[in-house]
Amino acid sequence: MPADPFTPGEVSAMDRALDLAARGVRGANPLVGAVILDADGATLATGYHRGAGTPHAEADALANARAAGADVTGATMVVTLEPCNHTGRTGPCSQAIINAGLGRVVFAVGDPNDAAAGGAAALRAAGIDVASGLGAGPAAELNARWTAATAERRPFITLKLASSLDGRIAAEDGSSQWITGPEARRDGQRLRARVDAILAGTGTVIADNPRLTARDADGGESRRQPLRVVVGRRQIPEDAAVRGSDGRFLQLAGHDPAGVAADLYGRGVRHVLVEGGATVAGAFLQAGLVDELVVYTAPLLLGAGTGSVTGLGVHTLADASRWRWDHAAGGATAMVGDDLRLRLEPEPA
Ligand code: AOF
Ligand code: ZN
């Protein structure tokens, strides 16, 4: 029998790295965790990736080791994703690992992002011992939707819904402001701040005249603004708030979600927040393009009025669009003021 390629210390470190990874925020980047072990298998440092634009898990772990004054020469890094080999929003982790003098890297799964892949080969070329496959099942599971979006070369898509207990986004007379409370609405602003584009249909823009901007805790507009995207053919008013004055506005005629996603990917958008209305939500859901569902449920009943999703094409229970709780990123359920926030991801097909 061949010797087990992984030490018991590496096996438990991978479990720990997977737990750490789940602390990150889903979106344009994968969830990644890392643990650095000394020659005896003791933990020197840990790290994880908090979300797009922040240090990668490997860099975070190396920084934590440095801060703790740990000597990582010859140490082993156990990480849930192949270290990247590119300069994106941050520098290449492969080079950081080589520079730090590590002796061995154990990673779970390869990087499906062509632009970043190649870390394993670069590490080997530098004389570092590299092994992969440990924790591959759970690591692949953790980033299943991100991996699919990356492979399809389309943005990761979050759909936000905010409704009454009986799933309505407006009362019978059309009134809708406000169903959820101020804390939930502010939480939604924070969601906007971490995406590349915010998308709504012409119906919502005409009915509600939303700004679709990311705002800070004090209500002021954040410095970095996502692209504001309106889909549909209807003409929106010349003075619609969504147009803004910063040129970060785009109207795409046509509701075909796959076409919209491809168009936005081509413009560099990697994470889209779909905010409604019900027709747009239904179209993206039916196309199977929603990677994350964030639902704010308010403690009130309307009994009539507009449902949060239309046109799903479900006629019988067996055809229901099924979701499972997403325990990463702050938990599957949370009270936000008087409202309940739910996070879900699609059931695997
Ligand atoms: C992460 N976190 O811990 C690792 C990643 O735009 P960047 O520079 O953040 O690069 C993102 C890519 O880097 C990502 O798509 C993936 O291929 C690779 N590795 N990414 O966000 C991490 N290790
Ligand atoms: Zn990296």
ipTM (interface predicted TM): 0.91
CA dist 240 and 37 (Å) reads 56
CA dist 272 and 275 (Å) reads 9
Residue 2 has pLDDT above 70, yes or no: no
Q: How many CA atoms lie within 13 A of 117 on its CB side?
A: 9
Cα–chain center distance at 179: 26
Q: Was 231 annotated as part of a binding site?
A: no
Q: Average pLDDT over the chain, rounded to whole?
A: 94
Confidence band, pLDDT 50/70/90 cuts, at residue 3? low
Q: Was 271 annotated as part of a binding site?
A: no
Q: Concatenate the DSSP letters of all residues of 185-219 into one string.
A: HHHHHHHHHT-SEEEEEHHHHHHH------B-TTS
SS3 label, residue 89:
coil
Q: Which of 58, 82, 292, 345 is catalytic?
A: 58
Over residues 160-189, the mean pLDDT reads 95
Q: Which residue, among 259, 262, 290, has the nearest Cα to 276 in the 3D structure?
A: 290
Determine the atom of ligand 1 nearest the C-alpha atom of 34. Answer: 3
Q: Was 120 annotated as part of a binding site?
A: no
Q: Which residue, among 40, 94, 107, has the nearest Cα to 62 in the 3D structure?
A: 94
Q: What is the pLDDT of residue 62?
A: 98
Can you name the residues that pair with 340 across neighbouring β-strands? Answer: 297, 335
Determine the atom of ligand 1 nearest the C-alpha atom of 81. Answer: 23
Ligand 1 site-directed mutation target among 20, 23, 29, most atoms within 8 Å of CB: 29
Over residues 252-277, the mean pLDDT reads 93
CA angle (275, 260, 264) in 5-degree steps: 90
Q: What is the pLDDT of residue 88?
A: 83
Ligand 1 site-directed mutation target among 31, 78, 80, 81, most atoms within 8 Å of CB: 81
81 pocket-lining for ligand 1 (C-beta < 6 Å): yes
- Tell me whether the omega of the peptide bond preceding residue 74 falls within 30 degrees of 0, making it cis: no
In residues, how long is the chain? 349
pLDDT single digits (tens) 6-30:
999 999 999 999 999 999 988 899 9
pLDDT single digits (tens) 298-340:
999 999 999 999 999 999 999 999 999 998 867 899 999 999 9
306 pocket-lining for ligand 1 (C-beta < 6 Å): no
Determine the atom of ligand 1 nearest the C-alpha atom of 56. Answer: 3
233 pocket-lining for ligand 1 (C-beta < 6 Å): no
